[in-house]
Amino acid sequence: MSSILTNAGAASALQMLRSLDSQMLGTQRQVATGLRVDQASDNAAYWSIATTMRSDTGALSAVQDALGLGAAKVETAYEGIAATTDILAAFMAKVVSAQQDGIDKNKIQEELDQLKQQIVSISNSASFAGQNWLRSDMQGQTSEAGAKTSVVSSLNRSEDGTVSVGTIDVDLSKLALFKNGGGGILQKEPDPDLGYGLGTLGGMVGFSTSGYGDVPGPAFDQPFTITKFDVITVDFSVGTSNDTFVITKSVVDQALGGQAGYGFDGDIESAADWAKVLQQATFLNKAPSDALLTAQGGAPNIFFRAIIPLAAELITVQPPVHTRTLPPEGIDILDIDVTDPDIDFPTITLVLDEMQQKVISAGAYLGSLRSRIAMQEAFGNSLADSLDRGVGRLVDANMSEASSRLKALQVQQQLATQSLSIANSDAQNILSLFR
């Protein structure tokens, strides 16, 4: 039926043309942007995931920059430590030469003074981005909170969407050649009266106790270092049996050395470490027939416990005796003077060797940090690429498909336009009836 009021064919053709125009706009946007999901209305779930992942990728880029900055700091400190190792070797050789009869010690001292100045120059100049890990404001030899720094290493998003930043901790107490107040690798111990250095020997100074069962042990107060020159001797009794346990650097290294995060350096950094050292001294280093008690516990409490056959006996622990084979203040490399008629060459040689071993340990520590940062950088780059590929799979358009579809829609649009034109021409046919 033909009508001059309603043109059903034209309406149908127009509806088809509008639908094609809408599809054309979407396809053209895909071709222009390269994205299949460009707006939340395209696919809300995929758009949300992709937007979050793009944000994470941007943050990951910042993490990579931070890793690069951290790597530069580690590299700077490492170069300083490596140069110091060479200078200490030369310093040791000069000190050994000074022990020969008939040699001019004044000339050797002049050379030593130059080497000292070079060490100070290295420690002062090994700075990057305002941080110098070889010369610190820290006091004491311990790993207190102020003796640590960190390098941003990762961005972590948990299953519940919580975001956190991972870090690589750097223990500056293992690196500082010089510290304000003393206690650096190349310095003498600070004055014990200032509360640094050995402090109260993990709570053992002045400690004594007695009782049955689990007897409370020393209250660990601060980290400290047992050097090769320190000996802590503790007399104790269980029932009628008396014995002694001794703590030296060797005992500390037996208990802690080689574990993750620990070197053979005599460092005791926590109550848990101290408990292991006490257990090593009281029980593990004793023959089974000689063992009377053992230290147990850790953070926060340490206690002494008699072996099972003596569990009902009274435990008594006497105040410890701390001795050193060096003066309490130790030796500072900057104070070494081979022209001093009272110089103790054997002690100086031992101290220099101890310093050199600590510097070597610092170099090894920095080397491990450098390797870890390099691995983290490589992983971060791979992770960023993976995130980009994952987002692409979700939202990127298939350009070959979009291009072909656009051409097909253009043909359909042309056909729809012609259909609309044909439908509109029906009205002209009605006019011919009245001519």
What is this structure's pTM? 0.59
Over the Cα atoms of the chain, what is R_g? 38
Phi, psi of 293 (to 5 degrees): -150, 170
**pLDDT value of position 293:** 94
* The one-letter amino acid at 35: L
At 48, the pLDDT band (50, 70, 90 cuts) reads: confident
The answer to whether the beta carbons of residues 73 and 128 sit under 8 Å apart is yes
**pLDDT value of position 327:** 63
pLDDT higher than 50, residue 101: yes
**pLDDT value of position 141:** 37
CA angle 238, 240, 245 (to 5 degrees): 45
pLDDT higher than 80, residue 85: yes
| 379's tokens | 């992983």
What span, in angstroms and rounded, lies between the C-alpha atoms of 153 and 372? 10
Beta strands in 291-414 (DSSP E): 293-297, 302-306, 315-317, 321-324
- Residue 71's contacts (CB-CB under 8 Å, 6 or more residues apart) are 370, 373, 374, 377
At 192, the pLDDT band (50, 70, 90 cuts) reads: very low
At 263, the pLDDT band (50, 70, 90 cuts) reads: low
What span, in angstroms and rounded, lies between the C-alpha atoms of 396 and 57? 16
pLDDT higher than 60, residue 60: yes
The answer to whether the beta carbons of residues 127 and 45 sit under 8 Å apart is no
Class of domain 46-188+331-389 (CATH, top level): mainly alpha
Q: What is the pLDDT of residues 24-36, one digit of tens each?
A: 776 667 776 777 7
Average pLDDT, the chain: 82
The answer to whether the beta carbons of residues 363 and 85 sit under 8 Å apart is yes
DSSP assignment of 2-29 equals --SS--HHHHHHHHHHHHHHHHHHHHHH
CATH assignment of 209-324, given 3.10.310, 2.60.40, 3.40.50, 1.20.950? 2.60.40
In the chain, where the domains are located:
8-34+397-434, 46-188+331-389, 209-324
Q: Do domains 46-188+331-389 and 209-324 have the same CATH topology?
A: no
What span, in angstroms and rounded, lies between the C-alpha atoms of 366 and 73? 10
For 399, counting Cβ atoms within 10 Å of its Cβ (0-12 exposed, 13-18 middle, 19+ buried), the class is exposed
Q: Is the dihedral of CA 248, 299, 208, 225 positive or negative?
A: positive
Pairing of strands 302-306, 178-179: unpaired
**pLDDT value of position 138:** 45
**pLDDT value of position 137:** 59
What span, in angstroms and rounded, lies between the C-alpha atoms of 432 and 218? 116
Pairing of strands 178-179, 135-136: parallel
Q: What is the pLDDT of residues 388-418, one digit of tens each?
A: 788 777 777 767 777 777 777 777 777 777 7
Rounded to an integer, the average pLDDT of 270-287 is: 93
pLDDT higher than 50, residue 41: yes
* % pLDDT > 70, the chain: 83
| 95's tokens | 């000190």
Q: Give the bridge partners for 323, in sequence order.
A: 231
Phi, psi of 166 (to 5 degrees): -90, 150
At 334, the pLDDT band (50, 70, 90 cuts) reads: confident
What percent helix, strand, coil does the chain show, rounded to 5?
Answer: 50, 15, 30
Range name among 134-138, 188-192, 374-378 with the lowest pLDDT average: 188-192
pLDDT higher than 50, residue 318: yes
From 135, 134, 137, select the one nearest 146 (Cα to Cα). 137
The residue behind tokens 């140069």 is: 83
Q: What is the pLDDT of residues 281-297, one digit of tens each?
A: 999 999 988 999 999 98
**pLDDT value of position 247:** 94
Rounded to an integer, the average pLDDT of 110-117 is: 93
For 416, counting Cβ atoms within 10 Å of its Cβ (0-12 exposed, 13-18 middle, 19+ buried), the class is buried
**pLDDT value of position 197:** 53
Helix (H) or strand (E) holding 44: helix 44-97
For 116, counting Cβ atoms within 10 Å of its Cβ (0-12 exposed, 13-18 middle, 19+ buried), the class is middle
